[in-house]
């Protein structure tokens, strides 16, 4: 938000995803451990046309990126349909 060249109410929507909470937790942890933060280049990865849904309520499907406990399913995100997924892979894969 602080550096977006053309801010609008919808600039965060491309980064939303059903597992964003857990992805964000791991992204923050990875950043702290490596003392650096990787953020997708907004001009390259944000689509020209952002889909704006009729409602901003959605169902989350939490899953850890590596096994931690039995409370949450563990899975690696697919490569489909989400910049948020790309974000998780780019920051978690060395």
Partner 1 sequence: MNYLSFYHLLQYGQMTDDSIIQAFLQCLRISFPQTYFLNTNFHRELSQNGWASAFSIFFLHNGSSRYAKKTQSKPSINSDNIVIPIHIHGCHWVALARHIIGSRTFFLYAYDLNSASTFDTIKSIYTTSTTSTCFHPNDAFWIKCHSFTYHPHSNECGS
Pick from 41, 44, 56, 81 the residue near partner 1 by CB under 8 A. Answer: 56
* Least Cβ distance, residue 89 to partner 1 (angstroms): 18
Pick from 14, 40, 47, 59 the residue near partner 1 by CB under 8 A. Answer: 59
Which residues are 73's β-sheet partners? 63
User: Is 85 within 8 Å of 17 (Cβ atoms)?
Assistant: yes
Would you state the structure tokens that stand for residue 53, as one six-digit string?
Answer: 């849904």
Instruction: Supply the DSSP symbol for 25.
Output: H
User: Is 51 within 8 Å of 13 (Cβ atoms)?
Assistant: yes
* Site of interaction with partner 1 (CB under 8 A): 1-5, 7-13, 16, 18, 20-22, 24-26, 28-29, 31-32, 35-39, 52, 56-60, 62, 64, 68-69, 71-72
């Amino acid at each position: 938000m602080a550096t977006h060249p053309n801010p609008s109410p919808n600039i965060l929507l491309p980064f939303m995803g059903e597992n964003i909470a857990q992805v964000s937790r791991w992204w923050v942890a990875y950043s702290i451990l490596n003392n650096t933060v990787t953020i997708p280049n907004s001009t390259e990865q944000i689509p020209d046309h952002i889909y704006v849904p009729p409602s901003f309520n959605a169902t989350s499907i939490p899953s850890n990126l590596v096994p931690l406990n039995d409370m949450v399913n563990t899975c690696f995100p697919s490569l489909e349909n989400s910049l948020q997924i790309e974000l998780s892979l780019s920051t978690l894969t060395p």
